[in-house]
Structure 1
Amino acid sequence: MSAILFLMFLLRCTSTVLSTKDDETALLKINKQLGYPDILQSWVKGFDFCNAGNALFQSNWYIRCSSTGRVIDLYLQNTNINAPFPDSICDLTELEFIGFYHSPRLYGSIPSCITQLYNLHQIVIIGTSFSGSVPSFYNHPNLTIINLSFNQLSGTIPSSFSTLPNLVQLDLSFNYLTGTIPPQLVHTSHTSYPQLVLASNSLTGELPRCYGWIDFGLIDLGNNQLSGDASFLFGKQKKAFAKIILANNEFEFDLSYVEFSDNLYGFDLSHNKIYGKVPDSFMTATGLLDPNLSFNKLCGELPKGNNMGRFSAAVFANNTCLCGYPLPPCSASAPAPSP
């Protein structure tokens, strides 16, 4: 038995040495696929890639290695590289973090092979010209953050994200995504409140009610074509220090019965079809600092006292028939609004 264990140990050590060399080979391939840009001129055979890229804020690239010399973090930022996504990145099999930041000349699709990098914790690709579909990740237990914002991605949101048990932050904002929002895209964490940011796409349909069960730190669905009821996102029982953004959609529900949590610090419901009156919980929610109810179909007298002194008339502007401070006073002779 001891001989077998020794052999397994020997094979593991040999694999580690070979894999370290394989990572160097993969980085050299990435450099080639990116067209040998000047910022990667040090990426030559034999270079010390584990120690060469530590000055993150003084360089356009950064590499971090594990204690065994494997590449686990790879960043490219603020580059002028004109090239497609280097699919050789998938040969870095121990990667935990992929980051492409603010490199608008990077183009092409994001290769599906990155979904086979099962050690990934975070993938952050922001401000590029990458197009095509959003990669479909399945059953990645380590994946906690996906941020693919400010790109040119199209198609629908993969429902497979619901199989990622520890995904707590998903940001697909400022793309060209269509279709409906699948259920359970993010999950509650013991250490942080979930964030779901899908703003500025062309999403349609109703929001699944299962999102009412989640205590969001941030949910931003603004600037889409969503409709139906979203009142279940609110509630007195919510504990997260949260912000809810639903502006510029077609949401339609009665605000009269919505209860705002004391932990809700901001929301934007402007430019929708929300009706009813402003509830008393708006007046009593102690943490509320940044609300917006403008451009809806709200009516009736605003609550008095408590929070109301904090807010300007712009918060309530352009509704059907709201009145009372900070808006003009209600007229005693004004007709009652139609139901």
Structure 2
Amino acid sequence: MSVILFLAFFLYCTSSALSTKDDETALLKINKQLGNPDILQSWVKGFDFCNAAEKMAFQHNWYIRCSSTGRVIDLYLQNTDFTVPFPNAICDLTELEFVGFYHSPWLYGSIPSCITQLYNLHQIVIVGTSLSGSVPSFYNHPNLTIINLSLNHLSGTIPSSFSTLPNLIQLDLSFNYLTGTIPPQLVHTSHTSYPQLVLANNSLTGELPRCYGWIDFGLIDLGNNQLSGDASFLFGKQKKSFAKIILANKEFEFDLSYVEFSDNLYGFDLSHNKIYGKVPDSFATASVLLDPNLSFNKLCGELPQGGSMGRFNAAVFANNTCLCGYPLPPCSASAPASSP
């Protein structure tokens, strides 16, 4: 029995050593694909990247974290000036849990599809590059919780396969060139944190699926697209998160009169839409509301008084059809009725 245990231990250690060596080979290949830049000059054969990386991370704008068995699980680079394609050798780091490229404006090409085969990934953050092409289609990754591909040049549609990621709670695809509609169930409710869906500054069209009304968002930002229809289901007294809802500069159209604002809603932007009706009383009683914007809509009638109304200036309600009452001018007896 002792011989068998010894052999098993030997095979495990040998496998671990080989895998660690493979990660070194992958890092050297990544360095080569990035053009052997000065900030990675220490990435040479035999470099103890697991132990030395943390000491050098902030000086050289990179960071590597390893597991207890010496496998690379985090890879982070920021503020680089690589004028090269995205390194596909990153897919050779098979145990990666986090990959981050921040503010590398000269990094171009597409995100390699092989990145979707890294099944240990928890977070993928590629922000502020010149990467183009489509958004990778991740399927059935149980560990993936955060995808942030904002501030790039990505195009095409949002993959509906994101609905198969059961623990995805943060998705940020803002400031790209995405088109098409918003698929349902892109993010999911979590017991530990509030979901975030940020798709602002794209060219998305169509209506928002009603299933998003079931999610207790911490943040949903759909601003500066060409979305339309009814989005009133995102609001409601039952919402428990300290949420912010941004729906500005679109074609949303619904009656605000029947919307209830949660006491936990701290901000929203509904400006530049076609929202009609009156401002409901729950607007004045939303206890933590600090940053609302209802300007440039078709709202009408007297604003609610008391409560939180003293916090807001006239700009919050500007350029509507016929709103009146503090902080706007007083209402007149001949004020026209509200209509869609």
Does the TM-score normalized on the shorter chain lie above 0.5?
A: yes
Q: Aligned letter for 1:38?
A: D
Distance in 2 (CA, whole Å) between partners of 1:230 and 1:41 is 52
Distance in 2 (CA, whole Å) between partners of 1:190 and 1:162 is 18
- Secondary structure (helix, strand or coil) at the match of 1:298 reads strand
Distance in 1 (CA, whole Å) between partners of 2:53 and 2:183 is 39
| 2:72–2:93 CA contact under 8 A, matched in 1 | yes
Distance 1:119 1:335, change over 3 A: closer
The offset of 1:51, in angstroms, is 1.9
The offset of 1:4, in angstroms, is 6.0
Partner of 1:198: 199
Distance in 2 (CA, whole Å) between partners of 1:224 and 1:338 is 25
Distance 1:53 1:273, change over 3 A: same
Distance in 2 (CA, whole Å) between partners of 1:4 and 1:213 is 55
Measured against aligned partners, the alpha-carbon deviations of 1:15-49 in whole angstroms (never above 9, x if no partner) come to 11100000000011001111111111111111111
Partner of 2:20: 20
| 2:322–2:336 CA contact under 8 A, matched in 1 | no
| 2:40–2:60 CA contact under 8 A, matched in 1 | no
Distance 1:188 1:5, change over 3 A: farther
Q: Within 5 Å, give how 1:49-128 maps onto structure 2.
A: 49-54=49-54, 55-128=56-129
Aligned length: 339
Partner of 2:47: 47
- Secondary structure (helix, strand or coil) at the match of 1:30 reads helix
Partner of 1:277: 278
- Secondary structure (helix, strand or coil) at the match of 1:22 reads helix
Distance 1:137 1:17, change over 3 A: same
Partner of 2:227: 226
Distance in 2 (CA, whole Å) between partners of 1:317 and 1:28 is 58
Measured against aligned partners, the alpha-carbon deviations of 1:171-223 in whole angstroms (never above 9, x if no partner) come to 00000000000000001111100000000000000000000000000000000
Distance in 2 (CA, whole Å) between partners of 1:123 and 1:246 is 26
Q: TM-score, normalised by structure 1?
A: 0.97
Distance in 1 (CA, whole Å) between partners of 2:274 and 2:53 is 52
Measured against aligned partners, the alpha-carbon deviations of 1:97-117 in whole angstroms (never above 9, x if no partner) come to 000000000000000001000
Distance in 2 (CA, whole Å) between partners of 1:286 and 1:274 is 23
Distance in 1 (CA, whole Å) between partners of 2:259 and 2:2 is 67
Which runs of 5 or more residues in structure 1 are unaligned?
Answer: none
Measured against aligned partners, the alpha-carbon deviations of 1:30-79 in whole angstroms (never above 9, x if no partner) come to 01111111111111111111122214332211111111111010011001
The offset of 1:9, in angstroms, is 4.0
Q: Aligned letter for 2:17?
A: V
The offset of 1:134, in angstroms, is 0.3
Distance in 2 (CA, whole Å) between partners of 1:207 and 1:338 is 24
Q: Within 5 Å, give how 1:1-339 maps onto structure 2.
A: 7-54=7-54, 55-338=56-339
Percent of aligned pairs with the same residue? 89
- Secondary structure (helix, strand or coil) at the match of 1:114 reads helix
RMSD: 1.3
